[in-house]
Amino acid sequence: MARLIFVNLPVTDLATSVSFYEAIGAVKNPQFSDDTAACMVFSETIHAMLLTHDKFRQFTAKTIVDAKTSAEVLLCLSADSRAEVDDQVAKAVAAGGSADPTPVQDYGFMFGRSYEDPDGHIWEIMWMDLEAAKAAMGGGHG
């Protein structure tokens, strides 16, 4: 069985966050959602658990940081093309997010951009031509 990842994110407005993530292509799994949490599915193996602050506090006594002013993690998802990278950022902006809070990365064989969700969580979207990357890094021959 493939490993799954469930990224848990504290959100200030669950409905707004669900709408945002649906607008960028995630699908809400009602089986693991209620009025305090929403499971947003990016793929069979990648899920974001959006949790109200009260719900998030049930899992940790640590202070919930304001992701608009502090950073604890940068999340990165792969894309199938450069165009998909740009498309995902455009969808995020149209849904109320902010484009490119981190520097755009363009190395020819690798292209990445980022967006912030309404709570300031940063998601990077990265495309890489694996064959060109191997050649660029000197690993093109086995």
pLDDT at 2: 84
Evaluate if pTM is beyond 0.85.
Answer: yes
Burial of residue 93 (CB within 10 Å: 0-12, 13-18, 19+) is middle
92 vs 79: CA distance, rounded Å: 15
pLDDT at 125: 97
**Calculated CA dihedral for residues 49, 51, 56, 58, nearest 10 degrees:** -90
By residue count, the chain amounts to 142
Give DSSP secondary structure letters for 14-83: HHHHHHHHHHTT-EEEGGG--SSEEEEESSSSEEEEEEEHHHHTTT--SPPP-TTT--S-EEEEE-SSHH
Is the CATH number 3.10.180.10 carried by domain 1-63? yes
Q: How confident is the model at residue 72 (pLDDT cuts 50, 70, 90)?
A: confident
* Dmax (CA) of the chain: 53
Percent of the residues in the chain that have a pLDDT greater than 90, as a whole number: 85
Instruction: Please give the CATH superfamily to which domain 72-142 belongs.
Output: 2,3-Dihydroxybiphenyl 1,2-Dioxygenase, domain 1 (3.10.180.10)
pLDDT at 139: 59
Residue 135 has pLDDT above 90, yes or no: no
- Same CATH topology for 1-63 and 72-142: the answer is yes
Burial of residue 78 (CB within 10 Å: 0-12, 13-18, 19+) is middle
Q: Tell me the pLDDT of the chain averaged across its residues.
A: 93
Strand (E) or helix (H) holding 6: strand 5-11
Boundaries of every domain in the chain: 1-63, 72-142
Residue pLDDT, tens place only, 15-49: 999 999 999 999 999 999 999 999 999 999 999 99
Q: How confident is the model at residue 131 (pLDDT cuts 50, 70, 90)?
A: confident
Mean pLDDT of 59-71: 94
First and final CA of the chain: distance in angstroms?
28
pLDDT at 11: 97
